């Protein structure tokens, strides 16, 4: 596995930091999730697959000392807090990289580490809003529409942070030194929109829902079928458009390329057949026409791309990208999320604590041991 031998401390937080650790675990890193003392809700454990859980009370100095000790033998630390929180805990990058100068200290936050807004609360919708990206999403003449939090939290946050960590690990092979990876989800959203910024005055306008790739043309849109399902059309190029017309039973004179009546014509014809009928029609036509599938339908159509999941009723997607020499995690018990504190004893023993010391820490509520981890 590509990241075998890399140890990651992931301070428990919301989805962005969880999925960042999830990516690293999928590709072989040993990810130790630092949980709060007590019970985590079900949504806080859904991205715990393949991780270990150590439960530490960071409100106490002795708990913070545990993090310092674990940091000495770790390659990466991921922290999900607003600017200044780790410094107030005495666990800022200056402290931890001073203890271990090889440590990659990853800071995954909504607004970064500098500026007045860095200490403000926010969610995916706020990061998208300030990045300029939210203004692009939605229909013409309607209000900006927030998407699922995949775009901000996960793509601009988790994925870019994981990329930054891997780049820092690679640079460490040359310099022998760690560094701070500062990921602002707001900045990340803007970075993902680089192509739009670059083409704003030529291919992309500020008019939401009036562009080629945002639903502003019938050539790149979705259409309801007879059974209330949907088909997606992405036939921007003429060669694909010609095949769409064949599938719809139209001649070019019926609906010329970029026709002003294209929306109404396509809407009417797609409503005449069920989604299953359209799938069959376009199966052998190179037309960029596909069904809009639900999550369950997607799993059923590509079962080889998913693995069993012990935490929810839905299987999980297998890791991506596929590396030819070191494929990501395969279906196994590693896909089960740990109980809070399940690995506290084992991890602390490995870090150099004695069983007596661990028992004392547990008795003082500095660490928590789950039933599976009781001394």
Considering the candidates 35, 75, 153, 214, report the single residue annotated as catalytic.
Answer: 153
Cβ contacts of residue 262 below 8 Å, gap of 6+? 217, 218, 219, 255
Helix (H) / strand (E) element for 187: namely: helix 185-192
- Dist. CA 235–CA 223, nearest whole Å: 13
The CA-CA-CA angle for residues 62, 63, 69, to 5°, reads 90
User: 321: cis peptide before it, omega within 30°?
Assistant: yes
Count CB-CB contacts under 10 A for residue 225: 20
Which of these, 217, 214, 260, lies nearest to 235 by C-alpha position?
217
- For residue 35, the SS3 value is strand
Which of these, 200, 275, 272, lies nearest to 232 by C-alpha position?
275
- Dist. CA 370–CA 188, nearest whole Å: 37
153 included as an active-site residue: yes
The CA-CA-CA angle for residues 52, 23, 182, to 5°, reads 100
Cβ contacts of residue 60 below 8 Å, gap of 6+? 364, 365, 366
Q: Which residues are catalytic?
A: 123, 153
């Amino acid at each position: 596995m590509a990241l075998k031998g890399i140890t990651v401390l992931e301070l428990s937080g919301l989805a962005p930091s969880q999925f960042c650790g999830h990516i690293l675990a999928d590709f072989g890193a040993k990810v130790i999730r630092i949980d709060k003392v007590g019970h985590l809700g079900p949504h806080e454990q859904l991205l715990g697959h393949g991780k270990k859980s150590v439960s530490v009370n960071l409100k106490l100095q002795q708990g913070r000392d545990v993090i310092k000790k674990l940091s000495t033998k770790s390659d990466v630390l991921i922290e999900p807090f607003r600017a200044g929180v780790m410094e107030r805990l005495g666990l800022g990058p200056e402290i931890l990289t001073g203890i271990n100068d090889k440590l990659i200290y990853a800071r995954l936050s909504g607004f970064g580490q500098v500026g007045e807004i860095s200490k403000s609360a926010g969610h995916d919708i706020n990061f998208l809003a300030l990045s300029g990206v939210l203004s692009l999403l939605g229909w013409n003449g309607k209000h900006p529409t927030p998407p699922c939090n995949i775009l901000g939290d996960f793509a601009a946050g988790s994925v870019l942070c994981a990329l930054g960590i891997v780049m820092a690990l690679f640079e460490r092979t040359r310099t022998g030194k760690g560094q701070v990876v500062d990921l602002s989800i707001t900045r990340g959203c803007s970075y993902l929109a680089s192509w739009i910024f670059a083409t704003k005055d030529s291919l992309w306008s500020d008019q939401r829902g009036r562009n080629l790739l945002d639903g502003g043309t019938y050539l790149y849109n979705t259409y309801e079928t007879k059974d209330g399902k949907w088909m997606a059309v992405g036939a921007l190029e003429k060669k694909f458009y010609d095949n769409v017309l064949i599938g719809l039973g139209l001649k070019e004179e019926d609906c010329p390329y970029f026709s002003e009546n294209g929306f109404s014509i396509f809407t009417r014809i797609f409503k005449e057949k069920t989604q299953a009928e359209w799938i069959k029609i376009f199966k052998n036509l190179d037309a960029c026409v596909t069904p809009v599938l639900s999550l369950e339908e997607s799993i059923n159509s590509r079962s080889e791309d998913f693995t069993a999941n012990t935490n929810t009723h839905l299987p999980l997607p297998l890791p991506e990208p596929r590396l030819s020499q070191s494929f990501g995690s395969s279906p196994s018990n590693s896909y089960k999320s740990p109980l809070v504190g399940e690995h506290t004893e084992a991890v602390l023993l490995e870090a150099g604590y004695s069983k007596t010391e661990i028992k004392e820490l547990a008795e003082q509520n500095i660490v928590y041991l789950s039933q599976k981890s009781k001394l």
